[in-house]
Amino acid sequence: MTLLYGMVIPHLMRDQKTQNMNLSIKNKTGFTLIEILIYASLLVLLIVLMANAVASLSHIIVEAKTERAIRSSAEAAIERITREIRFAQTVDTGTSSFGTHPSTLVLTSIDPFTEAPQTVTISFASNQVTIKKGTGAVETLTSDSVTVTNLVFRHIVNGATSESIRTELTIENKSFYTTTVLRRSY
């Protein structure tokens, strides 16, 4: 209290109380409930955003692996079919089936080891592309991890002597095409 000629000056008292309150507020440490709620909600938002990003990334990785498996399997099958067609002597049109799924391609070729004629049969079985050479065992040309949904062969005769085979392969809704000329036909 300030006395000036015996009188109390109230505004000076108020200023002193305000200063004492400001000092006591500044000396307090910790957070208020509102601050804690704001920080907690920001933290939850950040965690949700990070979890969403991780989920999206893992989905993209799985998709990429599946795509790679499909392409790898299709490329291996198409390459092997192309090689067998290219080295074939003739196409057995009587036992082959063309233009519909599932097609079967029967080729007559020369065994590179014995130089004897052999029959090569490329067909569709159990959602896989298979090949059988002569009396040998049936081999799968596509991976077990993919599903072949379409295999079609088309016989194309170009002129009097040249013949080729168009191969249409679909693996899990991805289509692959190639046309191969029989090497001995031109």
Task: Quick: pLDDT tens for 132-176.
Answer: 998 889 999 999 899 999 999 999 988 777 889 999 999 998 999
In a domain, 135, yes or no: yes
In a domain, 4, yes or no: no
C-alpha angle with apex 111: 73 to 162, nearest 5 degrees? 75
Tens digit of pLDDT for each residue in 50-109? 999 999 999 999 999 999 999 999 999 999 999 999 988 889 999 999 999 999 999 998
- Total structural domains in the chain? 1
Q: Looking at residue 5, what is its pLDDT?
A: 57
Q: Looking at residue 185, what is its pLDDT?
A: 58
In a domain, 68, yes or no: yes
Q: Which residues contact 173 (CB under 8 A, 6 or more apart)?
A: 149
Report the alpha-carbon distance of residue 64 to residue 107 in Å, rounded: 36
| pLDDT band, very low/low/confident/very high, at 112 (cuts 50, 70, 90) | confident
Q: Looking at residue 30, what is its pLDDT?
A: 78
Question: Which residue range forms the structural domain that includes residue 97?
Answer: 62-185
DSSP secondary structure string for all residues of 23-64: HHHHT--S--HHHHHHHHHHHHHHHHHHHHHHHHHHHHHHHH
Q: Looking at residue 186, what is its pLDDT?
A: 58
Tens digit of pLDDT for each residue in 3-48? 555 555 555 555 555 555 555 555 567 788 899 999 999 999 999 9
In a domain, 164, yes or no: yes
β-strand partners of 107: 91, 120
Joined tokens for residue 162: 């040249």
CB 2 within 8 A of CB 8: yes
